[in-house]
Structure 1
Amino acid sequence: MRLSKYYLPTLKEKPAHAKIISHQYSLRAGLIKQIASGIYTWLPLGLLVLKNIEDIIRDEMNKSGAIEALMPCVQPASLWRESGRYDDYGKEMLRIKDRHEEDMLFGPTHEEIATDLIRDVVKSYKDLPLCLYQIQWKFRDEVRPRYGVMRGREFLMKDAYSFDVDYEGALNSYNLMYKTYIKIFKRMGFTPIGVGADTGPIGGNLSHEFHILANTGESTLYYDNKFSELLESEDIESLKSIYAVADDMHDPETCPISQEQLNVSKGIEIGHIFYFGDKYSKPMKASVTSQDGKNVNIHMGSYGIGVSRLVGAIIEAFHDDKGIIWPEEVAPFRIGLINLQTKVTEAADKIYKALKSDEVLYDDTEGSVGVKFSRMDLIGLPWQIIVGKKAVSENIVEVKNRATGEVKEMQIEEAINHFSAK
């Protein structure tokens, strides 16, 4: 993509209302534009990051055997009355009426819709287990939306719903999602920490939050230093049994591990999983015939990842004083190609044409060298190919690693081959 043909409205100065790094850089790097409190337009660069995060999630969810669907944003209140949650949910729920004066709502979550989706179709234990997921926009009318996309009112979420005939099956589904979440977050460059959590308004009796480590995180995490060693383990029950809690559930007096073994870090919540048995299937009459011929309520779980929130979390975890440092798998472009002067345009064009255009943001603008460098550092693409006067005189370009700052000279053909091979 040629920058001269792209829409990238960057800002030089830090916006006064943006208090945390991810909010500041999201605005300055041209990822988002605020439309109202907690509501944002995703600009082209930010949308590319969002889509890359979706692709990772979708890939791992599909590998787990989950099946993608798409449920409506607007839901009839009748389903929530059926489950008993309509009056319990607070002012966070945006309630509306259609032209027929029917009560509707803009979904903050989709447990009721998911239950309704299968209850007239899934009738036998032979139809289970089943896991459906979606990536869908949701709305929660937060009292104090803040921190940009980290706590907005409108947000993109991956939510999945598992259906099983009994507790044992439901626990297998839960553990599979636990393992899948570890894989998803590791692909984004994180060290994810799964901590025992309160079930809140979703309900149930088993829940884990997934946090990533970040110095600017809102949560304080207390966890056994063995946790990171076991992230590769296939034994999810062992991983879940290791001490790991957030500050609201940590009691120093009852903590089962020693101070020497206890890690304390700041973290950001990016996912939450729940097992809630028949909390929804019982009132909504979603049941199946079991193997022994009995009619039993379906056991359910739900599994959420804040997709748009992850953009902010990644920035919080990967940045420096110059800007964002995107992990390669989520970066909007892999390479920033910088043309430093008019006389090297032919060499820069050659490199651009040789590489995949959807992986390269080519700064072919007529701005100053300083502006080009600072803008490229701000938007944080993993690699920079800098085409200066040596490109003409010696057929040499500079290749910069954004994360380490390391700069290496390469022959133009060598640089092309290096990035074409990856």
Structure 2
Amino acid sequence: MRLTQLFMPTLREIPAEAEITSHRLMLRAGLMRKLAAGVYIYLPLGYRVLKKIENIVREEMDRAGAQEVLMPAIIPSELLRQSGRWDVFGPDMFRFKDRHERDFCLGPTHEEVFTYLMKELTSYRDLPKILYQIQTKYRDEKRPRFGVIRSREFIMKDAYSFDVDWEGLDASFNKMHDAYCRIFDRCGLKYRAVQADSGAMGGKESSEFMVMSEIGEDEIALCEKCDYAANVERAQSKPDVKERQPEKPLQMVATPGVRTIEELIRFFGTTPDNFAKTLIYTVKGEVIAVMVRGDREVNEVKLINILQCTENDLNMAQEDLVRNVTGAEVGFAGPIGLKADRIIVDEEVTYMSNFIIGANRTGYHYVNANYGRDFKGDLVADVRKVSQGDVCVKCGGRLSVSSGIEVGHIFKLGTKYSEALGAKYLDENGQEHVMVMGSYGIGINRIMAAIIEQNSDENGIIWPMAVAPYHVIVVPVNSADPVQASAAEDIYNTLCQNGVEVLLDDRDERAGVKFKDADLIGIPIRVTVGKKAKDGLVEVKMRKTGESVDVAIGEVLGYIKGQVQREM
């Protein structure tokens, strides 16, 4: 492709709306343009990258025995009502009515549709099966951000396995896990597979594939000693158990105007791990109090799972409700005398001694509180968010917390959807059973952004060869020089004829502009045709390493094919 023909509107200035590297470079390099918040147009270079990622995904899915189909983007409400997700998705789902006033949505995911299709299979002989599609999904994100990292329209590969039992699901799950590893390896990503919460998808077990990145919206707990890795939403740590101190008498202390943990630390001259704070939530009309140590945060995902509710059901209590259940202003809540429907206590609080709590009286706190003697919870559970330096539940090592971008998520769904939608089969004895399902998703757009986050520098993108829009760019330094122009044309034509994906920068621009654009759009190999062309030599430079060598014009094809094959 000649750059004079390519639609490649590069930008010199950094767009004000772009907060992260991948968003900035995808706009600057002419890969995409914004149409609306969280909705993007993919331009030729960007679309070529997307198709290459899709092809890698397709090859590995096919290799794992999955079969490709294409489902409708429009889903009738009846299917999601059968599974219960018509309400679970809440405002995140695009809903509409057709001309007959029937409810539909734009597919946020397709578990129900695939399950509906698989009802056609009725015998154990028809199983197992793994089907997949690569298709646009729609979610009405409350706050689209970071370009395609969190958008309202995105391309997803979603696959679904159907087995006769849990042992079969385990085998399908492992197949998909291995396929995902090969996909991310081929895309040149540094990633980790981590334990995850299943969220609205439901099911028994799930793993996320996280690309390590400072801008990642997810936090990952990693053990420094063993292979334990989990999304912080699910991560567990051993409770911090200090030596038990002799119990002192409970005492109410006046703390006028002292509400926050920081203020209490200064007032009492102690540390935050000597406090237990009480937070008030509402869930489906119930008032739920949750206690954690003063230096901890409540893990609301764990709390949602314990309460068996949805994210939309769980809300922090308003100030007037807090005053009603505590009898005090906000900042003085505690478990003694609290008018809550349930009190959930983090397990770590039960190991504390002589700690400080709110007294449910404005301007007062209790000191020397002890669990069991002074108060009890309706439930003791792990509801805390893990922190840097916590103790690993697997080996006793220390946990570190890093940021990551989720690019894939695989679930052991079990029978949640097959039961709800009636996907059943007959075994060899004619007995009816429910199919056991798995679900496996990959964000194609997110992979593209994640690659850029991990493969870029101050000059632009550094595409891995396997996903680069083109492998080579030929740049004549002076297009007006007939020797350079002729050599560049010859090299370009030779590479094209031999199946090398190549660009020719035939624009009437200064050499510096051409070099900057070549670096910006991230083409892995640059062939510079300059003054040495008259001596039969050109410079071949690798974008990734910056290394360059002079190569005889007649040997350029062989040299470049070798480089491309080595990098693939």
Instruction: Report the TM-score, using the length of structure 1 for normalisation.
Output: 0.93
Q: Hey, what's the Cα distance between the residues in 2 that align with 1:289 and 1:395?
A: 73
* Correspondence 1:256 to 2:408: no
For residue 82 of structure 1, report the CA deviation from its aligned partner: 1.8
Alignment of 1:382-401 (within 5 A): 382-392=524-534, 394-401=535-542
Query: Which residue does 2:413 correspond to in 1?
Result: 276
For residue 255 of structure 1, report the CA deviation from its aligned partner: 3.5
* Correspondence 1:418 to 2:559: yes
* Correspondence 1:317 to 2:454: yes
> Which of 295, 320, 335 is 2:432 aligned to?
295
For residue 145 of structure 1, report the CA deviation from its aligned partner: 0.1
Alignment of 1:131-210 (within 5 A): 131-210=130-209
**Mapped contact 2:225–2:395 kept (Cα < 8 A):** no
Query: Which residue does 2:65 correspond to in 1?
Result: 65
Query: Which residue does 2:319 correspond to in 1?
Result: none
Mark the CA change 1:126 to 1:225 in structure 2 (over 3 Å): closer, same or farther.
Answer: farther
Q: Hey, what's the Cα distance between the residues in 2 that align with 1:2 and 1:30?
A: 15
For residue 368 of structure 1, report the CA deviation from its aligned partner: 1.0
Q: Could you report, residue by residue, the CA deviation over 1:168-219 in whole angstroms, capped at 9, with x for unpaired residues?
A: 0011101110111011100111233111111100001110000112233333
* Correspondence 1:380 to 2:499: no
Q: Hey, what's the Cα distance between the residues in 1 that align with 2:167 and 2:422?
A: 21
Query: SS of the residue aligned with 2:467?
Result: coil
Query: SS of the residue aligned with 2:172?
Result: helix
Q: Hey, what's the Cα distance between the residues in 1 that align with 2:50 and 2:64?
A: 21
Q: Could you report, residue by residue, the CA deviation over 1:292-340 in whole angstroms, capped at 9, with x for unpaired residues?
A: 4310000001000000111111100100010000000000000111111
Q: Hey, what's the Cα distance between the residues in 2 that align with 1:221 and 1:198?
A: 12
For residue 223 of structure 1, report the CA deviation from its aligned partner: 2.8
Query: SS of the residue aligned with 2:176?
Result: helix
For residue 408 of structure 1, report the CA deviation from its aligned partner: 1.0
For residue 268 of structure 1, report the CA deviation from its aligned partner: 1.3
Mark the CA change 1:218 to 1:84 in structure 2 (over 3 Å): closer, same or farther.
Answer: closer
* Correspondence 1:365 to 2:507: yes
Any stretches of 5+ residues in structure 2 without a counterpart?
238-389
**Mapped contact 2:225–2:397 kept (Cα < 8 A):** no
**Mapped contact 2:203–2:414 kept (Cα < 8 A):** yes
Q: Could you report, residue by residue, the CA deviation over 1:134-159 in whole angstroms, capped at 9, with x for unpaired residues?
A: 00001000000000011110000000
Q: Could you report, residue by residue, the CA deviation over 1:220-278 in whole angstroms, capped at 9, with x for unpaired residues?
A: 33334688xxxxxxxxxxxxxx4111233333245333547x66543211000011111
Q: Hey, what's the Cα distance between the residues in 2 that align with 1:93 and 1:43?
A: 27
Query: Which residue does 1:346 correspond to in 2?
Result: 486
Q: Hey, what's the Cα distance between the residues in 2 that align with 1:4 and 1:189?
A: 30
Query: Which residue does 2:283 correspond to in 1?
Result: none
Q: Partner letter of residue 273 of structure 1?
A: I
Q: Hey, what's the Cα distance between the residues in 1 that align with 2:528 and 2:396?
A: 51
Query: Which residue does 2:216 correspond to in 1?
Result: 217
* Correspondence 1:113 to 2:113: yes
Any stretches of 5+ residues in structure 1 without a counterpart?
228-241
Q: Hey, what's the Cα distance between the residues in 2 that align with 1:320 and 1:42?
A: 22
Query: SS of the residue aligned with 1:398?
Result: strand
Alignment of 1:35-114 (within 5 A): 35-114=35-114
**Mapped contact 2:412–2:439 kept (Cα < 8 A):** yes
Q: Partner letter of residue 354 of structure 1?
A: T
Q: Partner letter of residue 217 of structure 1?
A: G
Q: Partner letter of residue 303 of structure 1?
A: Y
* Correspondence 1:244 to 2:229: yes
Query: Which residue does 1:3 correspond to in 2?
Result: 3
Mark the CA change 1:385 to 1:326 in structure 2 (over 3 Å): closer, same or farther.
Answer: same
For residue 291 of structure 1, report the CA deviation from its aligned partner: 2.9
**Mapped contact 2:391–2:397 kept (Cα < 8 A):** no
Q: Partner letter of residue 422 of structure 2?
A: K
Q: Partner letter of residue 435 of structure 2?
A: I
Q: Could you report, residue by residue, the CA deviation over 1:40-93 in whole angstroms, capped at 9, with x for unpaired residues?
A: 000000000000000000000000000000001111111111222112221010
What do you get for the CA RMSD once the two structures are aligned? 1.5
Q: Hey, what's the Cα distance between the residues in 2 that align with 1:254 and 1:264?
A: 12
For residue 415 of structure 1, report the CA deviation from its aligned partner: 1.4
**Mapped contact 2:137–2:156 kept (Cα < 8 A):** yes
Query: Which residue does 1:235 correspond to in 2?
Result: none
Instruction: Report the TM-score, using the length of structure 2 for normalisation.
Output: 0.69
For residue 99 of structure 1, report the CA deviation from its aligned partner: 1.1
Q: Hey, what's the Cα distance between the residues in 1 that align with 2:143 and 2:73?
A: 22
| Segment drifting more, 71-80 vs 215-224 | 215-224
Q: Partner letter of residue 395 of structure 1?
A: G
Q: Hey, what's the Cα distance between the residues in 2 that align with 1:401 and 1:263?
A: 35
Q: Partner letter of residue 543 of structure 2?
A: R
Query: SS of the residue aligned with 1:87?
Result: helix
Alignment of 1:27-42 (within 5 A): 27-42=27-42
Q: Partner letter of residue 491 of structure 2?
A: I
| Segment drifting more, 264-273 vs 193-202 | 264-273
| Segment drifting more, 290-299 vs 132-141 | 290-299
| Residue identity (%) | 47
Which ranges of 4 or more aligned residues in structure 1 deviate by more than 4 Å?
Answer: 224-227
Q: Partner letter of residue 376 of structure 1?
A: A
Q: Hey, what's the Cα distance between the residues in 2 that align with 1:321 and 1:85?
A: 44
**Mapped contact 2:73–2:106 kept (Cα < 8 A):** yes
